[in-house]
Structure 1
Amino acid sequence: MCGICCAVSFSVEHFSKDLKEDLLCNLKRRGPNSSKQLLRSSVNYQCLFSGHVLHLRGVLTAQPVEDERGNVFLWNGEVFSGIKVEAEENDTQIMFHYLSSCKNESDILSLFSKVQGPWSFIYYQASSHSLWFGRDFFGRRSLLWHFSNLGKSFCLSSVGTQASGVADQWQEVPASGIFRIDLKSVSISQSVVLKLYPWKCNSGGDDIRECVNSLTEISAALPTFVLVAANEAKLYLKEPVVPLNMVLPQAAFETHCSSISRSPLTRETLQVFLTDRHTKEVVQQFIDVLSIAVKRRVLCLPRDEKLTPGEVLKTSNRKANVAVLFSGGIDSMVIAALADHHIPLDEPIDLLNVAFMTKEKTIPVNFNKKGRKQKNHCEMPSEEFSGSAAAAAAASPGEQFSVPDRVTGRAGLKELHAASPSRTWNFVEINVSLEELQRLRRTRISHLIQPLDTVLDDSIGCAVWFASRGAGWLVTQDGAQPYHSRAKVVLTGIGADEQLAGYSRHRARFLTHGLEGLNEEIAMELGRISSRNLGRDDRVISDHGKEARFPFLDENVVSFLNSLPVWEKANLTLPRGIGEKLILRLAAVELGLTASALLPKRAMQFGSRIAKMEKNNEKASDKCERLQIISLENLSVEKLDIS
């Protein structure tokens, strides 16, 4: 994970050799291990490149990187497949090596078409005065743009700053393909022209119409002096996943087990499906491809030196390198169970479980004394962590933070212990008070969620920020002690609901338009996931110097699920808790999980109870007033806090 930025000016009076302090602070939080700036000047323009690295693989490579021809590269991504990167190699170096050897536009597009994994990048090609940039097919890495001064300057950045008005608004770079700007041409014509190289599948669809629609949508959101056009050579990137299987059954679709809806749901209910040979084979194929996706995401990071045989059991001081955003629901349970298959057994796994307190309680005086006594046993949370709220939770967790996700999280922990008793599972209870939520939303979180601005974005963005920070209480049989997860990799289950009909709107669409409507809903969900979820979640999680990884959005996982007819992934004639995400529930049973396989979908904002903390009468799609509050005093404080 890195913070990358490029500020371009076509006017001497608007050029600065330094980034604004608040933007620089926000970038450094994403990349705490290395910071570097590089200036490129031409007669017609000036470019300031700024790179901030979170070191996760190979030799630490400071960014931006440059070569002898003046090319400059900023990379915020992970190459998991498609291009060979050895365990000891750094993918930034590998990608730049290939880019520097590209002879033309087609070579550049061919390179990025091969990469499997999340990425965003900025590449300055000196010979052509071109600035290339873009995000991966799903938009798993954030990249924003900001145009100002009537085309005299613009900026690309992983993260923005607190907006003070519409004119200062940052916008997400659409994950529609790769963009190129001819910097020399802009300085002459006084207008910014973005050339788009779109993603394209080879399914024989109406790609021309799709490209025109994409250009129209992008242009509508930009200032009038910014033009978006298709590249003249009509070159494109090859989509990294197979098209969605839209086939419908020849006969009327009915559940094979109609009696299920009338019977109590148990683990045996799901096992009935696994008696079918074809179903069992498909489920095993799904487990295999998802397991490989998890493996790539938990092994591709530095670890402590291997322990000697005599030290294997001394795990109390071992650091967890991987954390899971953990509600105890089916998505996070399967991810945790598969991570357990691949992470060394002497290494703990952090399970990050967040809960929001709806009513303040009196804090027992004697607890703080007890907490201080335990300080040496475990790393204390950051100063931002609300000790009062957490202390109250540890003192009487049943009263204040027993939200649905805490209940299912604790139950899920028991299942994981039973499935893998030799593993140290660090169940981290992250308890958030109303005061802490409001303070940190104002000073740290709101600009990360922007440019998204709905009530739903506020709820999920804040919940994910607190969860991924990992500052809470480690709850064991001996009691609770302060704990701050230092795992740099955070696994999240996003992508499962979108592909496997996990949302209530999937069921509503199925009830009104059948399987054809359900297929269309799934296609729509996957198509908008970059703008609806992933940029926001990347910015929120990376603010802690951690990297979000999304196994369900691995290219091979998506291709496998896309290849299946919809009824092999979900059966919405069955009740909630079994029909949605059916293939994932069957996989959970095969992995030895029990009660979690039958839990119905519960949105994070409701499971954590953040949606109940402030206003109960809001709609998820409403613009959130809380995200618009700007405080110059808080911004000044924020500039000092880059840790």
Structure 2
Amino acid sequence: MCGIHAVVSRNSRFHGTAISEKLRRCLCNRGPDHFGQVTTRLETVTTPVNLTFTSTVLALRGDHVTKQPFQDPQTGSVLCWNGEAWRINSQPVDGNDGEAIFALLREASKKSSETGSRDPILDVFRSIQAITGPFAFVYFDRPSETIYFGRDRLGRRSLLICRDESDGSFVLSSIAEACEEKWKEVDSDGVYSVVLRQDADPDHLPLPVRHEWLPPATSEIVGEIGTGDECVLGLARFNSDIPPEDAPALCPDSEPVRSLQRLLSSCVKTRVMNIPKPPSTGSTPDTRVAVLFSGGLDCTVLARLCHDSLPRDQAVDLLNVAFENPRVAAQLHKDAKGAAVDVYEACPDRITGRKAFAELQRACPWRIFRFVAVNVPYKETCEHRAQVISLIYPHNTEMDLSIAYALYFAARGQGMCYQSGDSTSEPAPYTTPARVLLSGLGADELFGGYGRHFVGYQRAGYAGLIDELKLDVSRLGKRNLGRDDRVMAHWSKEVRFPYLDEQLVLRAMKTPVWEKCDFRNSEDISGVEPGKRVLRLVALELGLEQVAREKKRAIQFGARTAKMESGRVKGTMVIS
């Protein structure tokens, strides 16, 4: 995880190399292990172009802190890289992935200079995009005097742009410097480039040009590539087959269940193995991974698969957040003994979280799990309001804020710790040392977990269900993952999404609908409800019977961050 910031300036308000103390602090929160800056200049016939590149580093790959920005001493080309390239051209990346990417770009730059084509440079980013890995980047190719930038196809890393219309100068950054209307999310629909020296208008930089994500034909995950509207996320056609009358019902021993379990296990293992030990862990058990843990199906399956992947001596933290919502607290009644009801323990996600924690202990008796009860008083929520609003910008609705609150405080990871296998000791104040967080986001979109999927089925049968699923998958790259990245990275954490592994997404797209969710057949046949049935059956196979039957609940309602002040507030309202 890194914080990246790049200024490409003529005589505009962006001129200069210094960044504000507030911005520096926010970038360093994202990457506390190193701060680096590179400045350079392009002389033109009229006004020179000044370029400043800043990177901060959270070291999670390789055996040392790799300094950024990367700079080629021969050509002066510069790379700011914030990502995880798990594999490139089907080969696992050993050591630091940023170094590997920059080495490829240096070679591509030579080929580009020889041929006069941009394709060698674009193909480097496409070779990462076609396999697996979240990323955002800014690359300055000095020989061609061109800036390249972009985000991965699913938008899992933040990158914003702010442009000065007077001369075309622009800033690219992991976070906005101020809540101004000019800041926009960089779209995740391709690689963008700007040729800095233009003969057409030497005093004004041109608009960025978009280059399509075109996976290399040799990529192992590329299946039946579609074109135009048929191609979803630039990956493949979405399987829109209607199930035949004799389509088998999903059961625990169905091949789609076994296949998903194998693939999801691999996706989790990729994201939890070989993480460097966090600094200052003290005498507590070795903990490198934490799970954003509501106790629901998606996150509990990830926690269970962590158990299968991690060495025996590593613990797993389960971050469960609950808020003091004044509006809800006023409605709580005393329990049967006349005692006041604990506003945090009454939160839906706290209730399901504790049940799932107990089930994980039964399924994995020798693994140390820590249930971290993150209790957030209303006063503390208000104290952090301005900070959270600043981090989520340019997102600015009440729903954005309520979701961001839950992620922000969960990622901080401060709460009361309950350790598995230690029922005799009292819970103690605790802050997770884990720098890698796992999120269950994506499972609902891929496997039919939202209520609107059932509504689509009721409206138009499997055709209606398929339309809803296809729409959700196609919008994955436009989801609010950039917002979520900014909120959680503020605490020097990197969030990883096993369900959004490109291979898993592609597999889900190509799988017929009746092998994912199964609304035609009742719960009596397989023992679990139709929504996300294939994943629920995986949970059963993993020994999580109670979790397999858990209902879906949105985070802002489960943690009770929604409508804190008034029940009349709508999620679409702009934050006042």
Which TM-score applies when normalising by structure 1? Answer: 0.78
Residue aligning to 1:66? 71
**Cα deviation, residue 239, structure 1:** 6.6
Per the alignment, do residues 427 and 240 of structure 1 end up closer, same or farther by CA in structure 2, a change over 3 Å counting? farther
Residue aligning to 1:249? 243
Per the alignment, do residues 462 and 121 of structure 1 end up closer, same or farther by CA in structure 2, a change over 3 Å counting? same
**C-alpha separation between the residues in 1 aligned to 2:315 and 2:157?**
27
**Cα deviation, residue 55, structure 1:** 0.4
**C-alpha separation between the residues in 1 aligned to 2:510 and 2:297?**
22
**C-alpha separation between the residues in 2 aligned to 1:285 and 1:242?**
19
SS at match of 1:351: strand
Deviates more, 1:190-199 or 1:429-438: 190-199
Which whole-Å deviations, capped at 9, do the CAs of 1:290-349 have from their partners, x for residues lacking one? 0010001001411389xxxxxxxxx96223110000011000110000011111111110
| Equivalent of 1:333 in 277, 293, 300 | 300
**C-alpha separation between the residues in 1 aligned to 2:297 and 2:35?**
39
Matched, 1:416 2:432: no
**Cα deviation, residue 12, structure 1:** 7.1
Residue aligning to 2:251? 273
Q: What does 1:308-327 align with in structure 2 at a 5 Å threshold?
A: 317-327=284-294
Residue aligning to 1:172? 185
SS at match of 1:508: helix
Residue aligning to 1:532? 479
**Cα deviation, residue 536, structure 1:** 1.0
SS at match of 2:3: strand
**C-alpha separation between the residues in 1 aligned to 2:206 and 2:340?**
59
SS at match of 2:544: coil
**Cα deviation, residue 110, structure 1:** 2.2
SS at match of 1:101: helix
| Equivalent of 2:50 in 16, 24, 46 | 46
Residue aligning to 1:546? 493
**C-alpha separation between the residues in 2 aligned to 1:596 and 1:571?**
18
Give the letter for the 2:35 counterpart: S
| Equivalent of 1:298 in 245, 265, 272 | 272
Residue aligning to 2:137? 121
**C-alpha separation between the residues in 2 aligned to 1:316 and 1:404?**
33
**Cα deviation, residue 609, structure 1:** 1.1
Residue aligning to 1:27? 27
Residue aligning to 1:388? none
**C-alpha separation between the residues in 1 aligned to 2:196 and 2:4?**
19
Give the letter for the 1:182 counterpart: V
**C-alpha separation between the residues in 2 aligned to 1:203 and 1:39?**
44
Asked whether the equivalents of residues 169 and 205 of structure 2 are also in contact (C-alpha less than 8 Å), the reply is: no
Residue aligning to 2:321? 354
Alpha carbon RMSD of aligned pairs, Å? Answer: 2.7
**Cα deviation, residue 484, structure 1:** 0.6
**Cα deviation, residue 473, structure 1:** 0.8
**Cα deviation, residue 558, structure 1:** 1.0
Asked whether the equivalents of residues 14 and 170 of structure 2 are also in contact (C-alpha less than 8 Å), the reply is: no
Which whole-Å deviations, capped at 9, do the CAs of 1:426-445 have from their partners, x for residues lacking one? 10000111111122021x21
Matched, 1:57 2:4: no
SS at match of 2:427: strand
Give the letter for the 2:238 counterpart: L
Q: Where do 5+ consecutive residues of structure 1 fail to align?
A: 212-237, 257-271, 306-314, 363-394, 626-643
Q: What does 1:234-633 align with in structure 2 at a 5 Å threshold?
A: 241-251=235-245, 256=249, 273-274=251-252, 279=254, 281-303=255-277, 317-359=284-326, 398-442=342-386, 444-476=387-419, 477=423, 478-573=425-520, 574=522, 578-625=529-576
SS at match of 2:479: helix
Deviates more, 1:108-117 or 1:600-609: 108-117
**C-alpha separation between the residues in 1 aligned to 2:303 and 2:401?**
26
**Cα deviation, residue 175, structure 1:** 0.3
Which whole-Å deviations, capped at 9, do the CAs of 1:557-598 have from their partners, x for residues lacking one? 112211210111012344797111100000000111110100
**Cα deviation, residue 191, structure 1:** 4.7
Matched, 1:92 2:35: no
**Cα deviation, residue 194, structure 1:** 1.3
**Cα deviation, residue 611, structure 1:** 1.2
**C-alpha separation between the residues in 2 aligned to 1:135 and 1:151?**
25
**Cα deviation, residue 85, structure 1:** 4.9
Give the letter for the 2:10 counterpart: F
Asked whether the equivalents of residues 357 and 371 of structure 2 are also in contact (C-alpha less than 8 Å), the reply is: yes
**C-alpha separation between the residues in 1 aligned to 2:49 and 2:566?**
49
Residue aligning to 1:197? 211
**C-alpha separation between the residues in 2 aligned to 1:252 and 1:617?**
48
Asked whether the equivalents of residues 141 and 535 of structure 1 are also in contact (C-alpha less than 8 Å), the reply is: yes
Per the alignment, do residues 400 and 12 of structure 1 end up closer, same or farther by CA in structure 2, a change over 3 Å counting? closer
Give the letter for the 2:460 counterpart: H
Which whole-Å deviations, capped at 9, do the CAs of 1:143-179 have from their partners, x for residues lacking one? 000012523421001111331x43xx31100001000
Deviates more, 1:426-435 or 1:504-513: 504-513
SS at match of 1:303: coil
Give the letter for the 1:600 counterpart: K
**C-alpha separation between the residues in 1 aligned to 2:3 and 2:278?**
25
Asked whether the equivalents of residues 199 and 239 of structure 1 are also in contact (C-alpha less than 8 Å), the reply is: no
**C-alpha separation between the residues in 1 aligned to 2:202 and 2:455?**
54
**C-alpha separation between the residues in 2 aligned to 1:396 and 1:474?**
23
> How many residue pairs align between the two structures?
533
SS at match of 1:464: helix
Residue aligning to 2:332? none
Per the alignment, do residues 430 and 360 of structure 1 end up closer, same or farther by CA in structure 2, a change over 3 Å counting? farther
Per the alignment, do residues 475 and 49 of structure 1 end up closer, same or farther by CA in structure 2, a change over 3 Å counting? same
**Cα deviation, residue 205, structure 1:** 4.6
Give the letter for the 1:73 counterpart: L
Identify the structure with the greater helix proportion.
1
**Cα deviation, residue 358, structure 1:** 2.3
Per the alignment, do residues 97 and 151 of structure 1 end up closer, same or farther by CA in structure 2, a change over 3 Å counting? same
Give the letter for the 2:482 counterpart: G
**Cα deviation, residue 26, structure 1:** 1.5
Residue aligning to 2:336? none
Residue aligning to 1:133? 149
Residue aligning to 1:632? none
Give the letter for the 1:131 counterpart: I
Give the letter for the 2:239 counterpart: N
SS at match of 2:60: coil
**C-alpha separation between the residues in 2 aligned to 1:283 and 1:563?**
15
| Equivalent of 2:173 in 140, 153, 157 | 157
Which TM-score applies when normalising by structure 2? Answer: 0.87
**Cα deviation, residue 456, structure 1:** 1.9
**C-alpha separation between the residues in 2 aligned to 1:397 and 1:112?**
54
Give the letter for the 1:101 counterpart: E
Asked whether the equivalents of residues 139 and 535 of structure 1 are also in contact (C-alpha less than 8 Å), the reply is: yes
Asked whether the equivalents of residues 85 and 94 of structure 1 are also in contact (C-alpha less than 8 Å), the reply is: no
**Cα deviation, residue 512, structure 1:** 1.3
Asked whether the equivalents of residues 327 and 566 of structure 2 are also in contact (C-alpha less than 8 Å), the reply is: no
Per the alignment, do residues 566 and 13 of structure 1 end up closer, same or farther by CA in structure 2, a change over 3 Å counting? closer
Per the alignment, do residues 118 and 361 of structure 1 end up closer, same or farther by CA in structure 2, a change over 3 Å counting? closer
**Cα deviation, residue 410, structure 1:** 0.4
Give aligned-pair identity as a percent.
36
**Cα deviation, residue 20, structure 1:** 2.6
**Cα deviation, residue 13, structure 1:** 7.3
**C-alpha separation between the residues in 2 aligned to 1:210 and 1:42?**
43
Per the alignment, do residues 240 and 336 of structure 1 end up closer, same or farther by CA in structure 2, a change over 3 Å counting? farther
Deviates more, 1:43-52 or 1:395-404: 395-404
Give the letter for the 2:531 counterpart: E
Question: Which 4+ runs in 1 deviate beyond 6 A?
Answer: none
**C-alpha separation between the residues in 2 aligned to 1:522 and 1:579?**
14
